[in-house]
Amino acid sequence: MAEKLQEEKFERFGRVEPVENFTTTDPNGAVKLRVANEGIASLDPMSVPDLVNRTVRDYPDHPAMVYKNTQNRWTTVTYREYRDRVHKMAKVFIKLGLEPHHTVSVLAFNSPEWFVSELAAIHAGGIITGVYTTNSAESVKHVLESSRTNIVVVDDAKQMEKIYSIKSQLPHLKAVIQTTAPYAPYVKREDGYYRWSELEEMNTDDVEEEFKNRLANIVINKCCCLVYTSGTVGNPKGVMMSHDSLTWDSYSIGKRLDQIQYGKEVLVSFLPLSHIAAQMVDIFLSLQFACTVYFADKDAMKGTLINTLQEAKPTRMLGVPRVYEKIQEKMLAIGAQSGTAKKMISSWAKSVTLQHHLNAMEGKPTNSLQYRFVRNFLLSKVKDALGLSRCMTMVTAAAPMDPETKKYFMSLDMPIMEAFGMSETCGAHSLTTADSYNFATIGKSLGGCETKIDKPDERGHGEICMRGRHILMGYVGDEIKTKEAIDEEGWLHSGDVGYIDDQEFIYITGRIKELIITAGGENIPPVHVENLVKNELMQVSNAFLVGDKRKFLTMLITLKTQMNLDSGEPKDELTPETIAWVKGLGVEYTKLSQIIAAGPCPKVLQAIQEGIDRANKKAISNAQKVQKFTLLSADFSVPGGELGPTLKVKRNIVNKKYDDIIEKFYA
């Protein structure tokens, strides 16, 4: 029997427009939905306003958002109040000139205003898109231009300055709104600049009928959201998502999570909402299951996240690998300062816990007295200190996670699930679960999602392709790229190489565009080699593999240094654990520049070489061994351009930026 959601009465908006095409690049175009005859993919299509209304019907007074006000006090917004704010701002957007199927763009850190802007744009018959706060003015201009943005919402004067510098070049742009003080002197209503607080008081009676009309004319299989890809090659592409993509995929993701409960889950919003993973989980999964969302502060990715975790005590957590690595580094640094007895107890506890989970993975579940003692009396304190005492699911997404990091958290009784997806899949396509887990897989396809391997070789390895209701409608205004990504049968070609085993677990072995193909024709996945080196050298922040079309492999190495919390730039000062490491080599350095000025320091270079030698012994073949390396004078960073907003390495940028150094390897 087809799976159906609870269908008690609530005010519904939206219809499905009958069409036969599965793709479109027109912001006002519709696509055919892949609704199945049974299972989770058979759910009736639902608009975003329908989802909001259903949640308000069932949980009107449940906390939806919790944020710190200007007095630094937690403030709660219920689901009923949330919808009221959305409706109010939707009418404001209409009054400011938002046209149907045009865009509201948000250039801001996560906040209630971000959430409200997203849903208000959609309720007003428009489209929402997020812009990374790290983007340059020129990059912002491309997004606003290609998305036909009518209204921009920014959070501070720094982002406002970007818009101010390009506003005259954007004919579609009608209004710019700033959410927080201090304001630039040119933020005046008569010039099209507004303060969020004044718009909350705006009289919108004159657009009430237009608002109702737009709600009544919502089409569920039309675009309501644009997500821009990272754009490491050329300009970012605008991924078109329909109402159905957002409402259906958020439900499918939630149903994969262990024991998810309506009205009882707590999340923390800190990953950039311009990224589809954060948008899908923080906004739409929370709406589906009436979650309470706490907002972290702007410095969350720079080290303050743990403060919010301790206060919110989330039941589920979504992070990128670097977030978990930073927690691991902090824990290891604290552990290094412990006495001998404490270290022995800690090592024993982690060993017992890791073995418990490894046994479970092999189908030999144990619940030994030792494990129960460790879990209840030792590791419970660790979880509590991290704010994760009631966290049922920890998920990593956006980039591959090193298996050693997974093992570390598993030894703390906090297994990390891996989600795989793309902007083009509206977020997740597959997800591992605690009851069917291994370190190499990205899990099984979510319910209602299809996966196949295109052009498999003799081992069954080929390109991973995906299909379902969560797949993009197309790239806005770009038919060529859309046809390159989606074939005639509706399969999205991921660009990832992998295979599916006999239990339907999906594995990624490399990425077509990132795969290093040496001059000898050897195909080498760089992340695997990089992780081998980083596992041998814990003081290394980034190990970047080079060797495409070259005779041998080389590597760019960066050491861990402290970060400027205001700018996100790497400091010259070494981290405490790096200082301790160099001291153990018999040299006294506290700054990276001192190491570089010393030659670079021969003892440091020798220690790195020995770590690479150990990693090379674990290489699959001689072709995958690193032959040369250089130590860079600064760590990778977002401001430096080497990392994207989710801290994923931009390989093309790194290769270009350090071209002179790379060429010396092969001179």
Predicted TM-score of the model (pTM):
0.86
pLDDT bracket for residue 646 (50, 70, 90) = confident
Q: What is the DSSP letter of 182?
A: S
Query: How remote is the C-alpha of 212 from its chain's centroid?
Result: 34
- In 3D, which of 313, 312, 303, 356 has the Cα closest to residue 333? 303
158-162, 201-205, 451-455, 506-510: which range is least confident on average? 506-510
Query: How remote is the C-alpha of 333 from its chain's centroid?
Result: 26
| Residue 539 burial by Cβ neighbours in a 10 Å radius (0-12, 13-18, 19+) | buried
- In 3D, which of 640, 428, 626 has the Cα closest to residue 543? 626
For the segment 84-110, what is each residue's pLDDT rounded down to a tens digit? Answer: 999 999 999 999 999 999 999 999 999
pLDDT at site 8: 54
DSSP 21-52: -S----TT-B------SSBGGGSPP--HHHHH
pLDDT at site 4: 42
Locate CATH 2.30.38.10 in the chain.
8-44+422-511
Residue that wins the pLDDT comparison between 403 and 61? 61
Average pLDDT over residues 385-401: 93
Residue 146 CB coordination number (10 Å): 20
For the segment 206-233, what is each residue's pLDDT rounded down to a tens digit? Answer: 999 999 999 999 999 999 999 998 655 5
Locate CATH 3.40.50.12780 in the chain.
45-218+257-299
Average pLDDT over residues 190-207: 95
- Residue pair 582/594 in contact by the 8 Å Cβ criterion: no
For the segment 558-609, what is each residue's pLDDT rounded down to a tens digit? Answer: 999 998 877 889 999 999 999 999 999 999 999 999 999 999 999 999 999 9
Percent of the chain residues topping a pLDDT of 90: 80
Fold adopted by 45-218+257-299: Rossmann fold (3.40.50)
- Residue pair 652/526 in contact by the 8 Å Cβ criterion: no
* Residue for token pair 């073949």: 621
CATH numeric code, 516-666: 3.30.300.30
pLDDT at site 231: 56
Residue 37 has pLDDT above 80, yes or no: yes
Superfamily of domain 8-44+422-511: Luciferase; Domain 3 (2.30.38.10)
Please count the CA atoms within 13 angstroms of the CA of 305 that sit on its side-chain side: 23
Locate CATH 3.30.300.30 in the chain.
516-666
| Residue 159 burial by Cβ neighbours in a 10 Å radius (0-12, 13-18, 19+) | buried
Average pLDDT over residues 538-563: 94
pLDDT at site 549: 86
Residue 470 has pLDDT above 90, yes or no: yes
pLDDT bracket for residue 261 (50, 70, 90) = very high
Residue 352 has pLDDT above 80, yes or no: yes
- In 3D, which of 114, 569, 423 has the Cα closest to residue 296? 114
Residue that wins the pLDDT comparison between 322 and 633? 633
| Cross-strand bridge partners of residue 562 | none
Please count the CA atoms within 13 angstroms of the CA of 11 that sit on its side-chain side: 8
- In 3D, which of 300, 353, 403, 325 has the Cα closest to residue 67? 300
Average pLDDT over residues 616-629: 92
Q: Is 504 left (phi over 0), alpha (psi -120 to 50) or beta?
A: left
Residue that wins the pLDDT comparison between 600 and 334? 600
- In 3D, which of 113, 56, 57 has the Cα closest to residue 89? 113
Query: How remote is the C-alpha of 490 from its chain's centroid?
Result: 25
Q: What is the DSSP letter of 18?
A: P
pLDDT at site 5: 44
| Residue 521 burial by Cβ neighbours in a 10 Å radius (0-12, 13-18, 19+) | exposed
* Residue for token pair 């959201």: 225
Average pLDDT over residues 329-344: 87
pLDDT at site 3: 42
- Compute the mean pLDDT over every residue in the chain, rounded to the nearest whole number: 93
Alpha carbon distance 227, 217 (integer Å): 23
Residue that wins the pLDDT comparison between 165 and 190? 165
- Residue pair 127/81 in contact by the 8 Å Cβ criterion: no
